[in-house]
Structure formats: C-alpha cells, structure tokens
Amino acid sequence: MNGMIIATQFGGPIALRMAIGLAVTVVALAIAGRRLLFIGRLVASGQPDHGRLQNIPGRIQAELSEVIGQRKLFKRHAPGIAHAMTFWGFIVLLFTIIEAYGDLFSRRFAIPFIGHTAVLGFLEDFFSVSILLALATFTIIRIKQSPARRERSSRFYGSHTKAAWFTLFMIAMVIISLLGYRAAQTNVGEFPYGWWAFASHGIGRAFSGLGKTVNGDLVTGFLLLNITVIMYFLVFVTYSKHLHIFMAPLNVVTSRRPRALGALYSTPSMDMEEVSEDTVFGAGHIEDFRWKQLLDLVTCTECGRCQAVCPAWNTGKPLSPKLLIMSLRDNMFESAPRLLAKHTTGGSDSSDSGSSSGTEGGEDAPTLVPDTIEPDVLWSCLTCGACVEECPVDIEHIDTIVDMRRYEVLMESRFPQEAGLMLRNIENQGDPWGMGGSKRTDWTYGLDFEIPVVSGEIPDDIEYLYWVGCAGALDERARKSTQAIARMLNQAGVKFAILGPRESCTGDPARRMGNEYLFQEQAKANIDTLQKAKVKKIVASCPHCFNSISREYPSLGGNFEVIHHSQLLAQLVNEGKLTPGKSFSASITYHDPCYLGRHNRVFDEPRDVLSAMPGVKQIEMQRHKERSFCCGAGGARMWMEESIGKRVNMERTDEALSTGADVVATACPYCLIMIDDAVKANQKEEEVKVMDLSQIVEVSLD
C-alpha cells in the first residue's frame, strides 16, 4: 500500500515538475556560486584590514539597526518605507520559497515545527501585496527622478538604470507567480491556508470558473515559473549592482565604525628608517586598497543618496561619491586577472608602513589618478562625511578618497599647488598660515584677567587645558570667539590654562590633504607635549582639533579626555554657573559643523545653550544635524582655490539667509570664517551677523 502511494505521488506531473525545478535550481546555484566565489576571491585579494571585528556588541547592534531595522533608509519617508517593506517582505517570503520547493516533492508539504498557521498565511499574503505597492512607489520615484529629465539633479544620474528597471520587473514576477500559484491552489483543494491568506483567495475567485483541471495545470505552471524566476533573479543579482543584497550585511557588520564616522583609517607608524623601497603609501592602484575597501566597491547599490547630499556635487563640482565608487569597481573587475594572480602567488605583502604594490604588471598599470579618477574629482572632496552618513550600506568613501590622496601626495608629489604653501607652513612654523608660535598668545592681549601659559607640568588647580587651535589663535575673526570662550570660562569659575607657543597644528589639514607623514609628525610632537605637561582634560574650540585629539591621536598613543567648548558651555549653563539673560534677543539659525556634528554626534548641546536664552528664537535650516551642509572648509579645502561651480560656502550661506534669521550661529572657527565671507559677498553683513556660540552666550549675560 505504501509503495503504491509513493509511486502515485512521484509519478506523472509531480515527477516532471520536480525534475524541471531541481534542474533549474542546480544550474542557477552553480552559476551564482561560481560568481560569488569569484567576488569573494577579489575582495580577499585586498590588503589586510585589522580591527574589523572588534566591539562585537556594537556590530550586532549596527546589523540589527541598519540591516534589519533599515534605520538609514527610514530617514526618507516614502522610499524608506517602500524599501523596508520589500526587505522585510522577502524575509517573510523565504517561507514561501521553502514551501514551493517542498511542493515539488509533495502537495501536502508543510514546514516542520511551523506548519500552515493562519498567521503565516496572512503574513505571506500581506507582504506580497506590500511588495507590489512598494514596486509601484519605486516606479513613481524613478520616473520623477529620471536622469533624462533631471540630469545632474537626479540621484540616479550615472547609475545603471536599465538594470534597476529589470530588477523591479523581476521582483514583480516573483510576486505575481507566487500569488498565481497560491490562487490556483485555492481552486483545487490544495491550498492549506484559510481566508487569512486574503490575496490568494481573492485572486483565486478569478480562476474559479476555469475548473479543477486547468487550475491544477496553473498550479504546476506558476510553481515552476516562481522557482525559475527566483533562480534567474539569483544569478542576475550576482552579476549586477544588486549584489548588495548579499554584501550589505557583511559590509555593515565589518564597518570599522558602527556609525561609520569619526577617525580616518590610521596607517601604521611612518618611521622613515623602517620604510623599504617597495613600501607604498596610500592607494595608487586597485591592489593597494584594503579588503574592506574592495568590499565597499561591490556593495554599492547605486542608489545615489551619497551623490544627492554631496556638497561638491551640489555645487557643480565633478565629484560624485557614487560615481567614484562605481569607477573604482569597474577598475577592480578589469584588474581581476592581476589581483587574483597576485593573491594566488601570495604577493600581497604589507609592510609596517603601507602596502606593497610590487606585483607583476601592477607597477606598470596606470595609476588610479588620473586614469580612473580625475584629479578634480579627488581634490573636490571636503571629507564632510555627508556621503558616509547617508549611505544605507556603510560604504566608507572618505577613507578611500584620502588613501588615493596619500598616494598622490607622498608617492607622486601631485597635489593642488596652492596647498603646498599650507603644508610647508605647518612643517616649518606649526600652523597653516605660517605665523609661528610667537603669535599664539596675541589673542590674550586686552583680556582683563591672566591666562596661565603652561611651560612645564600643568598645575594641580587647573582643570582644563584650553587647546585654542590655529584658527582660534591666529585668525582675526576667530580670535573674537576665542576671547569670548575664555571670558565665559573665567566668569564660570573654570580654571584653565593654555600652551601658548608650545601648541602646534594638530595636523588635521595635512591628514585630510593626504600628507599622512606630516600629520603623524605633528601628532607625535603634540602628544609628547601633552603627556609631559600631564594634561588631565582638554577643551577645544575647533571641531577639527577636537576630532584629531580625541579620535585620531589614540592610535598613536595619545589618550586624552577632550570636550568641545559647546559641550562645556551647555554643562556650565545646566549647572547654573552661566545664566543667560534677556540682553540678547534675535532669531538664530545654527549651522552644524561637520566635524562636530556628523563626525562626533554633537548636535544637541549647542541647541540646548541657545534654548536657555529667553530672547532667542531658533530657526532650523532645511539641512541640519546629521544632514547639515558643509561650509566648504573641510578636507583642507580652506587652503585650496575653488574655481569649479558655485562656492560651497555661498550655497550654505544662501540656505542660512533664506531662513530670515538675524544671526547665523556656529561652533567652529572654520565655519565662522567661511560663512562670514559669504555673508559679506552677499552684502548682508549689516543685516545678518555671524557669531560663535560663545559670543552669543556672552552678549546674553550683559
């Protein structure tokens, strides 16, 4: 009897559809598996990248938040919800795929331990319908954002749009074939779910008049179509930008920073006595990149969110973070024979200071700049982090750009001419302006109190060392905010001192420019000074100094407790040591400095200080907090000419002026200078004031 049941079950149509389904699956898995193995070998051919699996709890949280929770995508309402529903939908629809394969073998198949519960039936139909609605949303977005209509203003400009349209079609076919298969099942008595599977039963009514025989054939036809489409889609994904479906979880979990911002990747010590002839600083060829950077390249979704927020792209510059990653990805695939040959022969040695590019054919290959990436693209970057903040798959664009800059500066001596003076000034005088240490205390003249200048160890009664920074000490406009900070600290009873002529540039402009050697020399000297002074706490008024000392010096042995002056002001106001009054009355729009906001997540403290002022009305710019628009000074661009497109500081200032605020406030000397220049260029200096947060607090206390 059992033998007869088995023979019946696996005879006829069931045997045929089982054979077809398995054949399609085996072929597709073989093709996709071969491609994924090839991608894996390419990524593994990159240089070593240490520390990618530290802080496991933080990485798990990032995976849950950004991959499962779709946190970054939810910032954009309609597209974010549509993408989340599609992602979650396919997680749920994995159950339908298991059921489909089970049905190849038995019409009565049920997933072990789950079965055919009403909840599962409802969820499968709910997400099937949700995905179709999401596809409609994507279609509308792509039509409205069509590059043919909007050109550069479209975030899909330069993306492979044909592949995107084909993907939407394939996803639709997965859902249509699934619902068709389930609908036909309802008419032959094989569908195991009740009316909770509302869509399947609803569509099934349209098939009910066809009779059991035809519906039985439809079950087989739609089932095989569903499996075939899924398998073809799998192969297509591995050969297209939609490879991110598999790579995104890996890229997020191996992100060096769970929030993907903060310190740049720190190269090992650049002691020239330990450098060999084969040492390569930075990335001049694709094989010089670390494996995580190569993983970034194959993870890019071409969604264009980075491009849409890039200050350089938005002001007519040639840099698009998306197109840069795509170009490098193309280079990687073109260089695949060389990369795999090198990886197979074990030629990917790394020295203590950099990578070794001594591969056969590698040194003869054209360098990434200018062959793959144009110089104007490379030098347009402000390192503001907007692209990294926006990227839904945690691509670290800034590290890749700075690595190419390092190669250009240290290996080829190719960089914008005007930046050379800034680098020489830092090397010879310890500041970008070349004014020297003797000028670093000039800002203290005229103050009605003494500020101790530390010459040896910092006295025990001094709570903070005030790291003034180059701009705060040497630029005339920035000095006013420096003096205001000092007066506020003095009025609050905070004991602080300065290094005066012993303070030197942190090296931030040099590092962002690509001169890693000069940065490390500056950092080591400053760390030595701070350690000998036995500094306990540091307050910095420049976000770039704040970021360098707190985030980047630790990799070189400098571990210090650092606070930004906006944080300290908020603390003093909260403790009642500073009590803003009604002396200052104005509407204020606050500009978030990139290296204070995105890079270090200091958003609320400056606004808390402004909220404590009775006469202040805060007006937010459209782009603020995480999505703030750069002032144009970052990435060492403050010392380079801006000859292409609209000036970035003009773009940001136009946005600030459009709010109608009386004051543009900030908490960065670079931003203060750039926005003040733009306000004057707009001839609005009589109507709109540009002030540091400390200056506003000081006026409010009068």
pLDDT value of position 11? 40
Structure tokens at 22: 């398995």
Q: What distances in angstroms separate CA 363 from CA 3, 107, 407, 496, 660, one per listed residue?
A: 69, 61, 13, 53, 56
The reply to whether 294 falls in a domain is yes
pLDDT reading at 260 higher than 60: no
Contact 543, 668 (CB under 8 A): yes
Please indicate, yes or no, whether residues 367 and 434 belong to a single structural domain of this protein. no
Q: Which residues contact 396 (CB under 8 A, 6 or more apart)?
A: 255, 256, 260, 265, 292, 293, 296, 388
Bridge partners, 666 (sequence order): 692
State the burial class of residue 44 (Cβ atoms within 10 Å of its Cβ: 0-12, 13-18, 19+). Answer: middle
Residue 53: per-residue pLDDT: 82
Q: Which one is predicted more confidently, 673 or 68?
A: 673
Domain tally for the chain? Answer: 4
Q: Which domain holds residue 538?
A: 426-570
* DSSP-derived pairing of the beta strands 464-467 and 355-356: unpaired
Verify that 88 and 209 share a domain, yes or no: yes
Burial 123-147 (b: 16+ CB within 10 A, else e): bbbbbbbbbbebbebbeebbeebeb
Residues 586 and 613 in one domain: yes
Tens-place pLDDT, residues 182-203? 999 999 888 889 899 999 999 9
Mutual orientation of helices 565-574 and 604-611 as an angle, nearest 10°?
A: 40
Do 243 and 302 share a domain, yes or no? no
How does pLDDT run across 41-85, given as a tens digit for each residue?
999 999 998 888 888 888 888 888 888 888 777 766 788 888 889
Based on the domain organization, do 63 and 165 belong to the same domain? yes
Q: Has residue 126 been placed in a domain?
A: yes
The contacts of residue 462 (CB under 8 Å, 6+ apart) are 452, 454, 495, 496, 497
For the chain, what percent of residues have pLDDT higher than 70?
93
In a domain, 39, yes or no: no
Decide which of 526, 551, 570 is a domain's last residue: 570
The answer to whether residues 497 and 622 belong to one domain is no
Question: Residue 676 falls within a domain, yes or no?
Answer: yes
pLDDT band, residue 1 (cuts 50/70/90): very low
Domain boundary among 392, 414, 436: 414
Residues 112 and 194 in one domain: yes
On the question of pLDDT at 361 being above 60, the answer is no
The verdict on 215 and 98 lying in the same domain is yes
Q: What was the pLDDT predicted at 60?
A: 87
> Contacts from 359-364 at CB under 8 Å and sequence distance 24+?
359/287, 362/285, 362/287, 362/338, 363/285
Q: What is the value of pTM for the model shown?
A: 0.92
- Dihedral Cα 474, 477, 478, 481, nearest 10 deg: 130
**Cα–Cα distance measured from residue 278 to residue 253, given in angstroms and rounded to the nearest whole number:** 32
Q: What is the pLDDT of residue 405?
A: 97
Whether 264 maps to a domain, the answer reads no
**Chain CA centroid to CA 364, Å:** 33
Q: Return the beta strands (E) in 316-437 as ranges.
A: 355-356
Same domain, 560 and 596: no
CATH code of the domain containing 560: 3.40.50
Query: What proportion of the chain, given as a percentage, has pLDDT over 90?
Result: 78
Whether residue 627 contacts residue 309, with contact meaning beta carbons closer than 8 Å, is answered with yes
Task: Looking at the structure, tell me whether residues 131 and 226 fall in a common domain.
Answer: yes
pLDDT range class, residue 8, cuts 50, 70, 90: very low
Task: Tell me the torsion sign for CA atoms 489, 491, 494, 499.
Answer: positive
- pLDDT tens-digit series, residues 387-439: 999 999 999 999 999 999 999 999 999 999 999 999 999 999 999 999 999 99
Is 357 a member of any domain?
yes
Task: Judge if 198 and 112 occupy the same domain.
Answer: yes
